[in-house]
Amino acid sequence: MFETSSHVYIVMELVTGGELFDRIVAKDHYSETEAASVFVEVMSAIDYIHSIGIVHRDIKPENVLYGSEAANAPVKVADFGLGRIIQGSEEEVRHLAW
Protein backbone atom coordinates (compact mmCIF):
# COMPACT_ATOMS: atom_id res chain seq x y z
CA MET A 1 0.00 0.00 0.00
CA PHE A 2 1.22 3.45 -0.90
CA GLU A 3 -0.45 6.62 0.29
CA THR A 4 -0.13 10.19 -0.91
CA SER A 5 -1.94 13.25 0.34
CA SER A 6 -4.79 12.59 -2.10
CA HIS A 7 -4.67 8.87 -3.03
CA VAL A 8 -4.23 5.42 -1.56
CA TYR A 9 -2.66 2.86 -3.90
CA ILE A 10 -3.04 -0.84 -3.19
CA VAL A 11 -0.58 -3.08 -5.02
CA MET A 12 -1.60 -6.72 -5.28
CA GLU A 13 -0.04 -9.78 -6.85
CA LEU A 14 -1.81 -11.65 -9.63
CA VAL A 15 -1.98 -15.36 -8.86
CA THR A 16 -3.40 -17.56 -11.60
CA GLY A 17 -2.83 -21.11 -10.38
CA GLY A 18 -6.05 -21.63 -8.45
CA GLU A 19 -6.69 -22.93 -4.96
CA LEU A 20 -4.82 -25.70 -3.19
CA PHE A 21 -8.23 -27.27 -2.50
CA ASP A 22 -8.97 -27.60 -6.23
CA ARG A 23 -5.58 -29.19 -6.92
CA ILE A 24 -6.10 -31.73 -4.14
CA VAL A 25 -9.58 -32.65 -5.46
CA ALA A 26 -8.35 -32.91 -9.07
CA LYS A 27 -5.65 -35.45 -8.20
CA ASP A 28 -6.28 -39.15 -7.72
CA HIS A 29 -3.46 -39.20 -5.17
CA TYR A 30 -1.93 -36.23 -3.36
CA SER A 31 1.46 -37.48 -2.22
CA GLU A 32 3.06 -36.89 1.14
CA THR A 33 5.96 -35.19 -0.66
CA GLU A 34 3.60 -32.71 -2.34
CA ALA A 35 1.78 -32.06 0.92
CA ALA A 36 5.05 -31.55 2.80
CA SER A 37 6.27 -29.06 0.23
CA VAL A 38 3.09 -26.99 0.44
CA PHE A 39 3.08 -27.25 4.23
CA VAL A 40 6.63 -25.88 4.48
CA GLU A 41 5.76 -22.93 2.21
CA VAL A 42 2.56 -22.13 4.13
CA MET A 43 4.31 -22.37 7.51
CA SER A 44 7.08 -20.10 6.23
CA ALA A 45 4.45 -17.52 5.25
CA ILE A 46 2.69 -17.87 8.61
CA ASP A 47 5.99 -17.51 10.46
CA TYR A 48 6.67 -14.30 8.54
CA ILE A 49 3.27 -12.70 9.14
CA HIS A 50 3.43 -13.64 12.83
CA SER A 51 6.87 -12.01 13.05
CA ILE A 52 5.34 -8.70 11.90
CA GLY A 53 2.35 -8.95 14.22
CA ILE A 54 -0.36 -10.32 11.92
CA VAL A 55 -2.48 -13.41 12.51
CA HIS A 56 -4.50 -14.97 9.67
CA ARG A 57 -7.10 -16.97 11.65
CA ASP A 58 -8.57 -18.80 8.63
CA ILE A 59 -5.90 -21.09 7.15
CA LYS A 60 -7.53 -23.72 4.96
CA PRO A 61 -6.89 -25.17 1.47
CA GLU A 62 -9.28 -22.65 -0.12
CA ASN A 63 -7.11 -19.78 1.17
CA VAL A 64 -3.86 -21.15 -0.21
CA LEU A 65 -3.38 -20.16 -3.85
CA TYR A 66 -0.83 -21.20 -6.46
CA GLY A 67 1.12 -18.44 -8.17
CA SER A 68 0.65 -20.06 -11.58
CA GLU A 69 -0.65 -23.26 -13.15
CA ALA A 70 2.83 -24.82 -13.12
CA ALA A 71 3.15 -28.00 -11.06
CA ASN A 72 5.95 -26.46 -8.97
CA ALA A 73 4.40 -22.99 -8.63
CA PRO A 74 4.92 -21.24 -5.29
CA VAL A 75 1.92 -21.01 -2.98
CA LYS A 76 0.48 -17.80 -1.55
CA VAL A 77 -1.63 -17.36 1.57
CA ALA A 78 -4.76 -15.33 0.74
CA ASP A 79 -7.95 -13.95 2.28
CA PHE A 80 -7.00 -12.05 5.41
CA GLY A 81 -10.62 -11.10 6.06
CA LEU A 82 -10.54 -12.68 9.53
CA GLY A 83 -6.94 -11.65 10.16
CA ARG A 84 -5.90 -9.25 12.88
CA ILE A 85 -2.95 -7.05 13.65
CA ILE A 86 -1.69 -7.88 17.12
CA GLN A 87 0.45 -5.54 19.18
CA GLY A 88 3.03 -7.28 21.30
CA SER A 89 6.09 -9.46 21.13
CA GLU A 90 6.52 -12.18 18.51
CA GLU A 91 6.08 -14.79 21.25
CA GLU A 92 2.74 -13.23 22.29
CA VAL A 93 1.56 -13.19 18.67
CA ARG A 94 2.42 -16.89 18.24
CA HIS A 95 0.55 -17.77 21.42
CA LEU A 96 -2.58 -15.84 20.35
CA ALA A 97 -2.53 -17.29 16.83
CA TRP A 98 -2.44 -20.92 17.88
Instruction: List active site positions.
Output: 58
Task: Say whether 85 sits in a helix, a strand or coil.
Answer: strand
Give CB contacts under 8 A, 24+ apart, made by 49-53: 49/77, 50/90, 50/93, 50/94, 50/97, 51/90, 51/93, 53/85, 53/86, 53/87, 53/88, 53/90, 53/93
Which run of H or E residues covers position 66? strand 64-66
